[in-house]
């Protein structure tokens, strides 16, 4: 079992991924702090297992087939919803602001990133 490492916490939090299920590089002041945390997790079983507590309450779907997506769509369509949303330009809705790599500038001064 691996612990996912992502570049930006905000991206995953925005789509509902629980914060304690992954490591976000932008949580760290510098790469040394990031590497220190990775080594700490690798050497401490309890720290490592903290990232897998979600397995106790979340459902893992194995054996996805063509009906799995439709079943999930049907389930979600039956959930209570807020007011309807309309997107007149789906390209703009999907692409605007989706790629924010500005946070990487924080780490560019590090010699290892050059």
pLDDT score of 110: 56
Residues facing 5 on adjacent strands: 23
Establish if 13 belongs to a structural domain: yes
> CA 99, 41, 54, 1 torsion: positive or negative?
positive
Q: Are 68 and 61 in contact (CB under 8 A)?
A: yes
- For 24, other C-beta atoms within 10 Å of its C-beta total 19
Phi, psi of 60 (to 5 degrees): -105, 125
Q: Bridge-partner residues for 24, per DSSP?
A: 6
* 37 occurs within a structural domain: yes
**Is residue 98 assigned to a domain?**
no
Query: Per-residue pLDDT for the chain (114 aa), expressed as one digit of tens each?
Result: 889 999 889 888 888 888 999 999 999 999 999 999 999 999 999 999 999 998 888 876 666 677 777 888 888 889 988 888 888 887 777 666 666 666 666 766 655 554
Q: Count structural domains, the chain.
A: 1
Give domain status of residue 105, yes or no: no
Supply the range of the domain harboring residue 65: 1-79
């Amino acid at each position: 079992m691996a612990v996912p490492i992502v570049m930006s916490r905000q991206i995953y939090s925005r789509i509902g991924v629980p914060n304690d299920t992954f490591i976000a590089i932008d949580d760290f002041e510098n790469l040394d702090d990031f590497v220190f945390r990775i080594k700490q997790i690798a050497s401490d079983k309890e720290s490592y297992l903290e990232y897998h507590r979600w397995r106790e309450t979340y459902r893992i779907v194995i054996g996805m087939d063509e009906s799995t997506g439709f079943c999930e769509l049907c389930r979600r369509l039956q959930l209570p919803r807020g007011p309807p949303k309309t997107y007149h330009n789906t390209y703009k809705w999907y692409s605007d602001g989706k790629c924010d790599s500005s946070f990487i500038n924080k780490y560019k001064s590090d010699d290892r990133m050059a």
